[in-house]
Amino acid sequence: MSAQQAVGAWAQAQAEYGQRRILANVAPFADDRAALAGAVCASPSRAHPDYYYVWTRDAALVMGEVLEWLDAAPNSTRRHALEQVLDDYVAFTRHVQGLRGLAYGLGEAKFHVDGSPFRASWCNPQHDGPAIRALTLARYARHLARRARDTTATVAAITRDLDHEARGRRFYTLLAQHRAQRYADAAAAIAAEMLPRFWDAGRGYIVATLDHAGGIGTKRSNLDVQVLLAVLHHGADHQLDAPEVADTVLALLRAFEPVYAINQVVRTDVLGQSVPIGVAVGRYPEDVYNGDGSSVGNPWSLATSAIAEYHYRHALQYLAAGRVHVHAGLAQLVLWTQSFHASDADAKLLAAVRPGAMLRAGEREFRGLIHYLLASGDLYMARVSRHTANDHTMYEQWSRYTGYGRGAIHLTWSYAAHSSAHRRRTALVQALGL
Ligand SMILES: *[C@@H]1O[C@H](CO)[C@@H](O)[C@H](O)[C@H]1NC(C)=O
């Protein structure tokens, strides 16, 4: 087995386990009769930390991943089981949309799993939640329509979410709302203000937040993995390949590399193969949240999976286009990553990846770059593998010193982020005939 096959085999086994875990985190729960069907808990952990809640945004992203499994369902039993989960999620959504007296309306960040509102003052609104949910529900409505099933409840839920007012000024929020916007002129206005306004030429990356009003005093660099997550979750293809996004990914890798001691380890064992590993990535460099309180921040499983996914999707996008117009951001990212895994042969091929160069399908350099992006994504996939327990249990974070799991156990989003990266890797490996 090659290193590449080992990473693939691990990722496949992890994804299968992850699917079971994700579905186990959606009510009904055997140990909690009060939970409303369709409630997606962030984690079954009810203390240190207590994550036993439904965050609107997380739940929508996780359900978006579950939707992706529908088309790949091997038989109708499986498909019906998944549809039942999604139908429950629609019903849960309709329930919380009908609640009265919410402090932030539909922007309420989270709910109890029994469907009641969470009432504590520290919980900030998340105005991107309804937009993200609308996107997931719109995809489910299309699935239902294709299957000639009733879409009334799903469409009603979407309509409620889209009526929720735009308020935030975060890059993530704007991009999510942009995708969900019903009104073309508003969408154009948001798109026009996005990249130019959030691009910080002095720092050389896209900043996460524009208005520094409230709650972000410790994010001095304003460099945050949520920019990458926004592009992965809601960006169009041209945004995924924007030079500014590549610069931001490189800025994240450079910022986190020296921050976490575990990044000094550069190889790991995956199913008996020694493979190179990339940088473990957290939320933002100044983070002090340790998963259960404040001390030092740690790398996050979902953030590192996102870096893997970014590389795989780049390769898929270039394959689909049949060409790569190399921009400075891509060239720099490739150059920087070379120190982690490139062979001399790679280095020769990659010399062609210069700003302004055009690589076309059929050329050795084009194929070389695609394979290199697969191997680059695998650096981060293997990093996730290193810090995931042998029984496939994932946590929210990994200790920056020891690499062992920290924070919420079985974090639903950790499994979903891995599943999403693995799906892209599988598509890429198939496209390359590997
Ligand atoms: C349907 O597929 C699942 C795998 O997702 C499998 O476990 C199950 O046995 C299959 N059921 C039938 C009836 O073939």
Q: Do 301 and 384 touch, CB atoms closer than 8 A?
A: yes
For 334-357, the pLDDT digits (tens) are 999 888 877 777 788 889 999 999
CA of 112 to the centre of ligand 1 (A): 33
User: For ligand 1, atom 7, which residue shows the shortest CA distance?
Assistant: 78
For the record, the structure tokens of 68 come out as 């992706």
DSSP 264: G
48 lines ligand 1 (CB under 6 A): no
Which residues are CB-contacts of 262 (< 8 A; sequence separation ≥ 6)? 280, 299, 387, 398, 399, 400, 401, 402, 403
Ligand 1, atom 6: closest residue by C-alpha: 78
Strand ranges inside 215-353, DSSP E: 267-270, 273-276, 323-325
Whose C-alpha lies nearest to ligand 1, atom 13? 77
DSSP 50: B
Which of 20, 69, 70, 75 for a ligand 1 pocket mutation test, highest count of atoms within 8 Å of Cβ? 75
Break the chain into its structural domains and give their ranges: 1-31+257-434, 36-168
Cα of 369 to ligand 1 centre, how many Å? Answer: 38
Q: Is the CB of 74 under 6 A from ligand 1?
A: yes
Contact between residue 417 and residue 302 where contact means Cβ atoms under 8 Å apart? yes
* CA 94 / ligand 1 centre spacing (Å): 31
* pLDDT per residue of the chain (434 residues) written in tens, 0 to 9: 999 999 999 999 999 999 999 999 999 999 999 999 999 999 999 999 999 999 999 999 999 999 999 989 999 999 999 999 999 999 999 999 999 878 777 888 899 999 998 877 656 777 788 888 999 999 999 999 999 999 999 999 998 888 775 444 566 777 777 676 554 445 555 555 677 788 899 999 998 887 554 444 445 899 999 999 988 988 777 788 999 999 999 999 999 999 999 999 999 999 999 999 999 999 999 999 999 999 999 999 999 999 999 999 999 999 999 999 999 999 999 999 888 877 777 788 889 999 999 999 999 999 999 999 999 999 999 999 999 999 999 999 999 999 999 999 999 999 999 999 999 999 999 999 99
pTM: 0.94
Phi-psi region of 392 (alpha: psi -120 to 50; beta: other; left: phi over 0): left
How many Å lie between the centroid of ligand 1 and the Cα of residue 79? 10
The architecture that CATH gives domain 1-31+257-434 is Alpha/alpha barrel (1.50)
Helices (H), ranges, 110-151: 129-146
111 in helix, strand or coil? strand
Ligand 1 atom at minimal distance to the Cα of residue 74: 2
Q: Atom 10 in ligand 1: which residue has the minimum CA distance?
A: 75
Tell which atom from ligand 1 comes closest to the C-alpha of 73.
5
